[in-house]
């Protein structure tokens, strides 16, 4: 399904990462993929995982450093000569911003969360577009806390609201180049990022009981939706936020 397609995956930390589930689903369908990592501590882990897939590339990319972003896309251009899809699965907020009350969010935490979690989508979309010469698909990850208040999600909710809105504005701009931009709103998953969050266990239990499917979503299910969004099966979908949350978001009480 993705034979002759080239993808670029942002946000793999380990095998539980949503980004890795996306890459594994797409790799199985024949895509070649480049992986970015942030900081030396993730280099080995990402190189090991990427090594499981044929003809992959691993490049450093801290999105707060424009030179690294430019170099990462230059490396993809040099190796593959093109890009068909991009998976953006990165977010960050200082730990203390994800507990207590939103009203105490500092200027610094706000700036960092919005820069890394929301602005980076625009940044990588601009860099990706010239390589997407035959059209393309960009997929990002969001969460329900963008729309409704979820205790402790705080500034990440504000950042995800900006990310979802950015998805629509980017879709409008890039549509003329046949580049589609969509977001997946995933239910909570026990990844490395989520692990650092207080009361993640009880959140997972609560969502698992309340959702129509009476369970939590898996990273593999998010990966399969990313596969759909990067494939031609979704050729008429852009600017959309698709829920992959076992139906949790449709419930009132």
Q: Where does this chain bind ligand 1JT (CB under 6 A)?
A: 91-93, 98, 143, 150, 152-153, 156, 188, 193-194, 196-197, 203
Distance CA(154)–CA(138), nearest Å, equals 26
Distance CA(185)–CA(101), nearest Å, equals 23
Work out how close the CB of 204 gets to ligand 1JT at its nearest, in angstroms, rounded to a whole number. Answer: 9
**Annotated catalytic residue, options 80, 144, 153, 243:** 153
Work out how close the CB of 200 gets to ligand 1JT at its nearest, in angstroms, rounded to a whole number. Answer: 7
Minimum CB distance to ligand 1JT smaller for 9 or for 156: 156
Work out how close the CB of 90 gets to ligand 1JT at its nearest, in angstroms, rounded to a whole number. Answer: 9
Backbone angles phi, psi at 121, to 5 degrees: -65, -45
Question: In the annotation, is 153 catalytic?
Answer: yes
Q: 71 is written with which tokens?
A: 């170099």
Buried b (16+ CB within 10 A) or exposed e, 23-36: bbbbbeeebbbbbb
Query: Which of 58, 46, 53 lies closest to 26, judged by CA?
Result: 53
**Annotated catalytic residue, options 80, 85, 143, 144:** 143
Minimum CB distance to ligand 1JT smaller for 86 or for 156: 156
Work out how close the CB of 157 gets to ligand 1JT at its nearest, in angstroms, rounded to a whole number. Answer: 8
Query: Which of 3, 10, 19 lies closest to 189, judged by CA?
Result: 19
Minimum CB distance to ligand 1JT smaller for 117 or for 182: 117
Place of tokens 């939706």: 225
Minimum CB distance to ligand 1JT smaller for 19 or for 91: 91
Residues labelled as active-site residues: 143, 153
């Amino acid at each position: 399904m993705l034979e002759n397609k080239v993808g670029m995956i942002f946000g793999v930390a380990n095998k539980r990462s949503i980004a890795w589930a996306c890459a594994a689903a797409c790799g199985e369908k024949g895509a070649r993929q480049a992986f970015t990592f942030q900081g030396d501590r993730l280099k080995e882990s990402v190189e090991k995982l990427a090594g499981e897939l044929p003809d992959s590339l691993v490049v450093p990319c801290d999105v707060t450093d424009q030179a690294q972003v430019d170099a990462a896309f230059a490396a993809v251009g040099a190796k593959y000569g093109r890009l068909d899809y991009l998976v953006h699965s990165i977010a960050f907020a200082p730990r203390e911003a994800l507990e207590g009350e939103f009203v105490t969010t500092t200027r610094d935490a706000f700036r960092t969360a919005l820069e890394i979690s929301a602005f980076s989508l625009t940044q990588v979309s601009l860099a990706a577009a010239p390589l997407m010469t035959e059209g393309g698909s960009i997929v990002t990850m969001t969460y329900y806390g963008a729309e409704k208040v979820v205790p402790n999600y705080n500034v990440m909710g504000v950042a995800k609201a900006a990310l979802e809105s950015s998805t629509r504005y980017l879709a409008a701009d890039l549509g003329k180049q046949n580049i589609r931009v969509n977001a997946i709103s995933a239910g909570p998953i026990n990844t490395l990022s989520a692990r650092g969050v207080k009361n993640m266990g009880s959140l997972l239990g609560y969502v698992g009981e309340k959702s129509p499917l009476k369970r939590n979503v898996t990273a593999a299910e998010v990966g399969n939706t990313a596969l759909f969004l990067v494939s031609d099966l979704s050729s008429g979908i852009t600017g959309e936020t698709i829920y992959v949350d076992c139906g949790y978001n449709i419930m009132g009480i």
